[in-house]
A and B are shown apart, each in its own frame.
Chain A
Amino acid sequence: MKKYFQTKVKTRLFGLMLFILVTGFTGFAQSVNVTGTVKDETGEAVPGATVVVKGTQTGTVTDLDGNFTIEAAPGVILVVSFIGYSPQEITVQSGLTVYTISMVASMSALSEVVVVGYGSQIKKEVTGAIKSISGDELRDMPVSTIAQKLQGRFAGVQINQTTGQPGRGMQVRIRGQLSVTGGSEPLYVVDGFPITGDINSINPDEIDDITVLKDAASTSLYGSRAANGVVLITTKKGKTGQTNVNLNVFTGFQKVPQRGRLEMMNAEEFAQFKKEYYEDASRPVPSIFQDPSIYRDDTNDWYDALLETAPISSYNLTLTSNKERVNTSVVAGVFNQKGVVVNTDFKRFSLRLNTDYQLSDKVNIGVNVAPNYVFDNTPRSDGDRGTGIIFNALHTWPVMPIRNESGELTLFNRFPAETGNIFAYPNWVRSAQELTNETTRLNLLATTYIEWKPIKGLSLKSTFNVELNNARFFFSNPSTATSAINQAIPTIAASIRETSNSISWLNENIATYRNSINDHNFEVLGGLANQRFRLDQYRLQADTYADDRILTTQSAININRGGTFNNVQEWGLTSVFSRFTYNYKSKYLFTASARADGSSRFGVNNRWGVFPSTSVGWVLSDEGFLQGNKTISFLKLRSSYGIVGNNNIGNYTQYALVNNTVNVAFGNTITPGAAVTSLDNPNLGWETTAQFDVGFDLAFLDDRISFTYDYFVKNTTNLLFAVQIPQESGFTNFNDNIGEIKFWGHEFSINATPTKGAFRWNINANLSINRNKVMALADGIDRVYGSFHITQVGQQFGQFYGLQKLGNYANAEDLANSPIIPGRSTVGSIKLADVNGDGVLTFGGDRDDRTIIGNPFPDFTYGITNNFNYKNWDMSIIGSGSQGQDVYMRHLYSTANLDGVFNMVRKAGDRFRSPENPGAGIFGTTVGGGNVTGIERDWPNSNFVWDASFFTIRNITLGYTVTKLPKAIKSVRLYASAQNVIVFTNYWGGQNPEVSMQGNGQGDGGNLSPGIDLGPFPVPRTITFGANINF
């Protein structure tokens, strides 16, 4: 104990010295100008290295030649640091004013501090499965969302871009976690504040660090919201002793490559198809299809007509300063992206002001304020036939003119009934141009804290955080445009106006005590939190406008009652949490934590949930038997177990609701009616996930190669599920916590530096394997059907389900000797597997022949990042891929409708026409009309299911750092960046193999039914040029 007190006294003295220094007693001792040069192992100058007087915030940065000048008194220690190198310390000697400092690369950076929930930890001592990436590593990618930047970067984090709509459609799944009906997106925590708004409204340039928490031990402090994993985002702060001004600018363009597009028939091919269609049916060929060659130079590519080359640009100005007692950073950004589909716009104006202020030695306060404004307009590009303009355009006859003779866009096209044209097609280009579908969002994220450190090691911190989101949505179609098929023009002009205001506030009070006694290091944390959320939404839908130029509500003849309403969503969350972290000599590591959450979402009988976890680690490389080992430089084993929850079960799901808009008319008088529309469940609760993780971190050759492996197994129980009940009850379902899903997987990451020195190459790769199995559903329910999917006990989640295609009936003999659909199957029609062996092919019912026909989940996913540096040049190549998953090419029900009602995929040209001319085997005969062709089209079958394995080169960036610069400029880096460079895949259903229709809950496109392709907004290739300037 004596020693302890001595240390304490010394520290206090030292602190006093610092205090004097900091408060500007520059006369203390005789400060002199010290100059020096910082070099790396090869003798190259290190520009941008930080030089700080130890224990103070006084410092400077080296210039391009590695030189620095700093005022320091003899005896003072200077700390020189630079990313990727171990910090070096030198003591200023009396009389010696010129120094040369040689930096030593430190690849492991195990002494790095990583952000964890409610604090930070030394990387070496981390016992959970977490991974972080710095904002710098993400800066060059010309994309609108953070998730796009993270694709392929983390093992165990699968990120799919399901649509190319700017700012949208990113689907993030950590460790394959899925709920049946609840949300499956991770919890995003920005500067300690779990946000409720859209993560994509945050300017990626504001981000200093992103940490992904994967296992239960890392996430359990987020309790009932942690089961989907947690993403911690830390925004920029000033670096010690520095003032930096940075301008990062890029501009470029986006384009949809020809390669990979869904190949549809051109006008000549389509006319040929139609001609053959009528000939094969022994019917007269309509005059317009009698000579297909007349269309040779006269095709209309409706899909291509919707696309354009679109500009993208971004401007970010960052100022950081950390001097005296004030640490400030300001990030101002403008991001402006046009979409590759006409009339698509995405703009973001953002500002962030982060300030920490040291009131005294014991009290700190901080305020982060970040307002931003996001504008987004996308024509109704995505969706099923009749709602999505792109799908509509894909299957519109290429013989229909986009423009009339005078070059104007046609209004709509309809051919005479004898041509087989049964749908009128509005002009989709006009629809895209004239429909308004815009959202403007004004968001404010503010986090504040006050921290008091009454005694050494103890911190009492109180935070108050507010998030305000205002969103305005406006949809309108004038009478000349619609996204619906078969609507005559003029159509009914209609509009939807929607305003949402939400406020979320959080107060947290946290006490942390940290101490080391001998080699026993521990930290105890306890906290209380209250969070409350309220959303107020107003929606007004009106139609039948007299004049397309004024689509304001008062000009509408009808207010659409069904689409006009108020919505209020509210929840409250009260929590108590605690964590105990202990290690002995940083070698034997232990953490235990728990959170209790009381939530307004949980039924009155089940209001509080407790979520505990524990984890252990053992740094073997610190043991005698490995110390000094030449090969293995670091080895840590770790394991964790914990229970976390998912509270995304809806706000009022527990209550029996009375719908008081079930109105009736008596005579012509409207009379109010009210009906109970749901059943209550006072026992309703969270979804529970118990997760076990074991892994190790291993590094070789002075940490030049490091490797991380994790195995996890999770059991999710009490899944929120709307259990279907017989409707003789008057209700459709009962919301209950049911079932069990098991998830498990392996994650591998490797980081290596094959070459160092002048040519430096760093490679970072990861591979993840995720599996799941449904262990149980509700009593008496062993399967849940979607339109194209099944979720069944004993199988993986959401498997494609339908009939297995064997081919087409080759000839009369084949037809006679095979199971058929009585009255429907003919020679050349689709031949399906008689799975139950009853001799008859049946869809649904007791004699169902459906079976699992595909898996939307990959065998494994992987990512690879290469960084190269040579003198002033730098280059990075980032790629990621996914292997073994299938996509359900749903659009084929129209784009391969053998009745010739729509334009067809080019492959349908090579279809079955006769036993002598059986075609490629993919598509069957057109003869026999809907009774025959309807089987292939309307019965979900394996002909819709195609492998969608892919590898995408996400980004290639080439940069050059300019050396000869005026004095005011510290550094300039010029770069060119290409995003979505190339996709390697055999998938032919469209240019985006990551596609997945977005739906809700138990419906199509929800969690139970992923991987449906309806032909969404294409993902463009983006080429940009940028400059990164430091002042």
Chain B
Amino acid sequence: MKKYNILLLSLVMAFSSCDDFLTITPETQLSSVTFFKTENDFAQAVNAAYAPLRGYYNSQAWLLGELHSDNTFYMRNVLFGAVENSENLADFSVPVSNGTTPNANVLNAWRQLYLIIARTNQVLGTIDAVEFNEASKSNIKGQALFLRSFAYFHLVRYFGKVPLHVTPVPGREGAALPLSEEPAVFDQIIQDLTEAVPLLPQKAQQLPGRVTQGAARTLLADAFIYLKRWPEAEQILGPVISSGEYSLMPSYNMAFSKNSSNKNNAESVFEVQYREGPEGLQGSFLYQQLPYPLTVNEVRSLFGTTNPQPLDGQGNNIPTPDIIAAYEDGDLREDASIAYIEVSGRPGPNKLTPIIRKFQDAHAQHNNHGINWPVYRYSEVLLLMAEALNEQGKSGEAASLINQVRSRAGLGSSNASGQSPMREAIFKERRVELAFENKRWFDIMRTGRIQEIIVPYGQRIVANPLAYYFPPIPGAIPRSNVFTNLDKFYAYPAAESDLSPFF
């Protein structure tokens, strides 16, 4: 019997700690059960809400906001197919069926922006239940509120009505929400930003690169201007100018971030932060916004990298003849914004091709750079204020603001006088000052000028494809369906529509 007892004892021992034996949580990752408990958790969580901005600005924002305008086009490479996702944006042929589109860029923009929203919702939905330093908490909440509104402001301008998530999604239930009307989305944006402004520190007190009170005011003013709520725009933007925290950099090309220097400079109100290196925080947009094919030597001479690789495919965001013509004579911004390079692989005799210069800077590794993307610059603050003032009949005050921007560009004062000519002058000034910064499409659509601008632009391309970088190869002409979709809003992404009962 003794042997039995030993056996039984060992069995009992083996089973006594059954629950512990079967509770095995992951060792290499935290789980939500233990997260959102400390100040540090929230600091990390709000940082992660910035992360999708990198991908969005690197790969989608310029496709939806700049290529989809009269500022840039693609350079057709007939050897490549499967390029319709960018072509459709550039030549206004985004396919729509039942209010949805299969366009991958539209889909990815949607997903990146909602990722920001989900991450900020996680922060905002749990932060009030945890006690920690009030100043830190205000700062974190302010950043989260800004980022959420930022994402919604982009979504509402791309799509109009969108699902409005303001609390964390618990599971499969609640993952999809009905579309909210535009005013409801704007109400949320204005409410969030109004709350964020006093929570956020001034630029001098904030870690460079993070959201500041100035950034929140500028975003809110941009929203008010979109809604044509001019006095509110003027009122919220005033302190940004009067704070003395911002100024125009001495020259236009100094306004832009370099690969590792000149980031978040005096002119910068908000920019997307990239960092060169193997940590995965880099950008690669320079490489996407080039004419292809480029040989190793051509790539090396552009960027001075130690390991250049040839580039193939179809290049995008090539400055159009239209934007080149939009610069006044003597505008220093033209040379600062656009360069011309020899593309030896370009079919036909004409090898000289324009490229965007304003973001270019040398870096070490192929397809990996740390140049920040300018979202709001002080020159735009001046132009937004000019617009808000002009629309309230204060064209004189507007003129002094626009002239600050022009003077830096080596141009004389604007000769526009009166509200309507000043409106046009501001519109043109925005085009050249903010060229390739993803402002053009929003300016065209919010001012109701899609038909007026895009239709003749399309006619020019169809009439003269060679001027718009089509190769001199038989059959290489604009497709039959170009400039057939001039809708104000993008259709909803089909892949999301498949999963949502609401659109």
Contacts and interface: CB of A to CB of B under 8 A. Distances in A.
A and B part of one assembly: yes
Interface string B196-224: 00000000000111100000000000000
B45 A674 contact: yes
Nearest to A847: B97
Interface in B439-480: 473-476, 479-480
B140 to A, nearest CB: 12
Interface in B163-184: 163, 165, 169-172, 174-177
Interface in A705-752: 723-731, 734, 736
A566 interface: yes
A417 B21 CA distance: 64
Counting contact residues on chain A (CB < 8 A from B), the size range is 35 or more
Given A528-B14, A658-B31, A663-B279, A675 B474 contact: no
A659 interface: yes
A663 B10 CA distance: 48
Interface stretch (B59-67, B107-115, B418-426): B107-115
Nearest to A420: B79
A660 B281 CA distance: 14
A574 to B, nearest CB: 6
Given A664-B48, A845-B97, A938-B81, A559 B278 contact: yes
B345 A729 contact: no
A297 interface: no
A422 B35 contact: no
A424 interface: yes
A283 interface: yes
B310 interface: yes
A509 B280 CA distance: 51
A846 B293 contact: no
Contacts of A567: 28
Interface stretch (B117-125, B129-137, B325-333, B376-384): B117-125
A420 B344 CA distance: 14
A545 to B, nearest CB: 12
Interface in A505-533: 507, 509, 528, 530, 532
Contacts of A823: 479-481
B82 A509 contact: no
Contacts, number: 277
Tell me what chain B mostly uses at the interface: helix, strand, loop, or mixed. loop
B169 A731 contact: yes
A659 B32 CA distance: 10
B209 A665 contact: yes
A500 interface: no
A652 B24 CA distance: 8
Which of B15, B81, B111, B114 has the most CB atoms of chain A within a 10 A radius of its CB? B81
Contacts of A671: 47
Interface in A634-690: 651-652, 655-660, 662-676, 679-681
Interface in B1-22: 3, 7, 10-11, 14-15, 18, 21-22
A315 B119 CA distance: 60
A760 B147 CA distance: 82
B260 interface: yes
Interface residues of B, number: 98
Contacts of B171: 679-681, 734
A801 to B, nearest CB: 15
A528 B15 contact: yes
Interface stretch (A95-103, A403-411, A485-493, A786-794): A485-493
B373 interface: no
B337 interface: no
Nearest to A490: B307
Interface stretch (A233-241, A609-617, A928-936, A1010-1018): A928-936
Contact of B35 (A281, A674, A725, A731): A674
Contact of A658 (B29, B97, B163): B29
A417 B310 contact: no
A572 B24 contact: yes
Nearest to B101: A845
A664 B176 contact: no
A930 B80 CA distance: 6
Contacts of A499: none
Contact of B275 (A423, A491, A668): A668
Which of B14, B29, B41, B277 has the most CB atoms of chain A within a 10 A radius of its CB? B29
Which of A560, A724, A729, A934 has the most CB atoms of chain B within a 10 A radius of its CB? A729
A419 B363 CA distance: 32
A666 B273 contact: yes
Given A667-B263, A726-B176, A599 B281 contact: no
Given A424-B310, A528-B14, A666-B207, A674 B30 contact: yes
B45 A938 contact: no
Contact of B45 (A452, A509, A675, A931): A675
A561 B368 CA distance: 14
A846 B97 contact: yes
Contact of A676 (B14, B32, B207): B32
A664 B21 contact: no
Contacts of A530: 14-15, 21
Contact of A667 (B26, B117, B209): B209
Contact of B293 (A417, A598, A663): A417
A730 B79 contact: no
Nearest to B78: A929
Nearest to A542: B278
A544 B260 CA distance: 21
A657 B95 contact: no
Interface in A589-635: 598-600, 604, 607
Which of B7, B30, B208, B210 has the most CB atoms of chain A within a 10 A radius of its CB? B30
B275 A680 contact: no
A899 B312 CA distance: 15
Given A571-B24, A728-B500, A736-B172, A845 B95 contact: yes
B48 A422 contact: no
A565 interface: yes
A728 B32 CA distance: 19
A572 B29 contact: no
Which of A568, A599, A937 has the most CB atoms of chain B within a 10 A radius of its CB? A568
B278 A561 contact: yes
A726 B309 contact: no
B57 to A, nearest CB: 13
B179 to A, nearest CB: 10
Nearest to B54: A664
B25 interface: yes
A308 interface: no
B281 A607 contact: no
Given A566-B28, A572-B21, A727-B496, A931 B115 contact: no
B215 to A, nearest CB: 13
A933 to B, nearest CB: 7
B47 A574 contact: no
A664 to B, nearest CB: 5
Interface in B484-503: 494, 496, 499-501
A928 B475 CA distance: 7
A558 B278 contact: yes
A599 B22 contact: yes
A822 interface: yes
B21 A673 contact: no
B302 interface: no
Given A574-B18, A666-B210, 14 more contacts: A528-B14, A543-B278, A562-B278, A656-B31, A658-B32, A660-B29, A663-B280, A665-B274, A669-B207, A674-B30, A680-B31, A680-B32, A724-B499, A937-B81
Across the A-B interface, the 3 shortest Cβ-Cβ residue pairs: A730-B118, A934-B81, A930-B81
Interface of A: 281-283, 417, 420, 422-424, 452, 454, 460, 462, 486-488, 491-492, 507, 509, 528, 530, 532, 543-544, 558-562, 565-568, 570-572, 574, 598-600, 604, 607, 651-652, 655-660, 662-676, 679-681, 723-731, 734, 736, 780, 822-823, 844-847, 899, 901, 928-931, 933-934, 937-938
11 contacts: A492-B307, A604-B23, A656-B33, A658-B29, A663-B280, A674-B47, A679-B169, A731-B169, A928-B475, A929-B475, A930-B79
